[in-house]
Amino acid sequence: MTESHPRITKAVIPAAGLGTRFLPATKATPKEMLPVVDKPAIQYVVEEAVSAGLDDVLMITGRNKRPLEDHFDRNYELESALQKKGDAGRLAKVQESSDLATMHYVRQGDPRGLGHAVLCAAPHVGQEPFAVLLGDDLIDPRDPLLKRMVEVQKQRGGSVIALMEVAPEQIHLYGCAAVAETEDSDVVRVSGLVEKPDLADAPSNYAIIGRYVLDPHIFGILRETEPGRGGEIQLTDALQQLSQTHTSAATAAGKAGGPVHGVVFKGRRYDTGDRGDYLRAIVRLACEREDLGPDFRAWLRSYVAEEM
Ligand code: UTP
């Protein structure tokens, strides 16, 4: 590691979206609080940031998002009730989320898009590279992705995004990257990005998934990014700019921030913002749990045999 690549300590988690795909569950409850087995989805994401060494977490929230703050705070009433009962196991579970990380919150008054949400992090982040984790994407802890991205950023500088190969007919659901191979089999150089392209316009089947390690120059670009697809300020559009800025002229004009590399993820990932994937995540994670798995798997086997 060189001096020009400071250690990354900050994670930004945008959680101000409206969660319309999950209505009516998300009318009064943030979608990030929906349980995946017995933990809210957001706790898995904060745990992932912490296990990659990022224990300063800034959450971008909005209206109706108060339960997020409460979840990562102490609940003295509950703790003392459990203490009185002598229920040490549940007490530890309650305290787990409040002891995880140093949490900060900022509100995105108007949800004007993911790019705008990331821009809300500028005063907290300052001039350091930082990570962004989307609460919708649940990455299996056995397939560490963020740690590898932080490592690639240290080695190569600039910004690093996470990519996953998807079936071509799925690419219109994602941001999509034009890429070139590097000497590392899991790392590609990104030469262009486009948000949710039609299949005919997609430069590849590499989809952007919800983990980023970004150079702070992204903030300057986001300030000038016009609303794009869906009338929202798109992070992908700003990253497209960033991927074009690794030239000496751009550096001289103070517009560096690139290059952009992609880490190609081949592990287990669930999009918990999508109802089908959310259900698959719960079934899979429940099956793998030591405490619940054996019973649940036996039930699932007989259910499938009866129903299918
Ligand atoms: P999504 O595109 O999944 O939007 O945002 P959404 O509103 O959360 O969900 P649906 O599509 O209506 O069901 C991707 C991520 O960006 C955050 C969301 O919270 C989510 O983590 N986001 C999006 C913001 O923080 N602010 C925004 O203005 C938009």
Structural domains of the chain sorted by starting position, each given as residue range(s) with its CATH number in brackets: 10-273 (3.90.550.10), 274-308 (no CATH)
Q: What's the CA-to-centroid distance between 174 and ligand 1, angstroms?
A: 13
pLDDT-derived band at 1, boundaries 50, 70, 90 = very low
Q: What pLDDT, on the 0 to 100 scale, is given for residue 19?
A: 87
Pick the residue with more confidence: 1 or 260?
260
d(CA 239, CA 190): 10
Read off the pLDDT of residues 267-287 as tens digits, 9 standing for 90 and up. 999 988 889 999 999 999 999
Question: How many other C-beta atoms lie within 10 A of the C-beta of residue 37?
Answer: 17
d(CA 268, CA 271): 10
* Nearest atom (ligand 1) to Cα of 31: 8
Between strands 187-195 and 175-181, the pairing is antiparallel
**Mean pLDDT, range 180-199, rounded to an integer:** 94
Residues with CB under 6 A from ligand 1: 14-22, 60, 108, 111-114, 116-117, 134-136, 273
Read off the pLDDT of residues 48-69 as tens digits, 9 standing for 90 and up. 999 999 999 999 998 878 899 9
d(CA 242, CA 219): 10
Q: What's the CA-to-centroid distance between 91 and ligand 1, angstroms?
A: 32
Q: What's the CA-to-centroid distance between 201 and ligand 1, angstroms?
A: 24
**Taking 90 as the threshold, does the pLDDT of residue 177 lie above it?**
yes
